[in-house]
Amino acid sequence: MNLLVDIIRTKGIQNIDVSMLDEENKKMMLTEAGTILIRRGDCMKGVLALNLARNTEKLVEVGNDFFEQRHFDLAVLAFEHTGKTEMLNRLGALCIEEELYEYALKAFHAAGNSEMVDFVKKNFLD
């Protein structure tokens, strides 16, 4: 597993070819790699690996951790593809309070909240 983690760290997740793996093995390997990367502090690549694994449960878990630690950029990235609209809207509102408008925009967009997307664009972004 460390070999996959090292490859992801050096080449980037977008350059990993897992097409030869069945869905179960791909999910297992990428979830483990993502978890290791996050533990090692390479959170962005770890979340991307979890997204590639399509492991919604793990993404929600790490998204909640990032949210509690106030790492809103990583929380948005983790929740982005989970379909958890309530959490994404809550996160977007908190990002507005923290003046993190780009992250708020991403959160509301991922939640499908076009009203708040327009609000953020018109009031906070050029």
Q: Which amino acid is at 58?
A: K
Q: Which whole number is the average pLDDT over 86-111?
A: 96
| Residue that has been written with the tokens 């449960």 in this structure | 57
What kind and span of H or E run contains 105?
A: helix 101-111
Determine the length of the chain.
Answer: 126
Q: Give the model's confidence band at 2: pLDDT under 50 very low, under 70 low, under 90 confident, else very high.
A: confident
What are the boundaries of each domain within the chain? Answer: 1-54, 75-126
The radius of gyration of the chain from alpha carbons, rounded to an integer in Å, stands at 15
Q: How many CB atoms lie within 10 A of CB 119?
A: 16
Amino acid at 104: A
Mean pLDDT in residue range 7-25: 84
Percent of the chain's residues with pLDDT above 70: 99
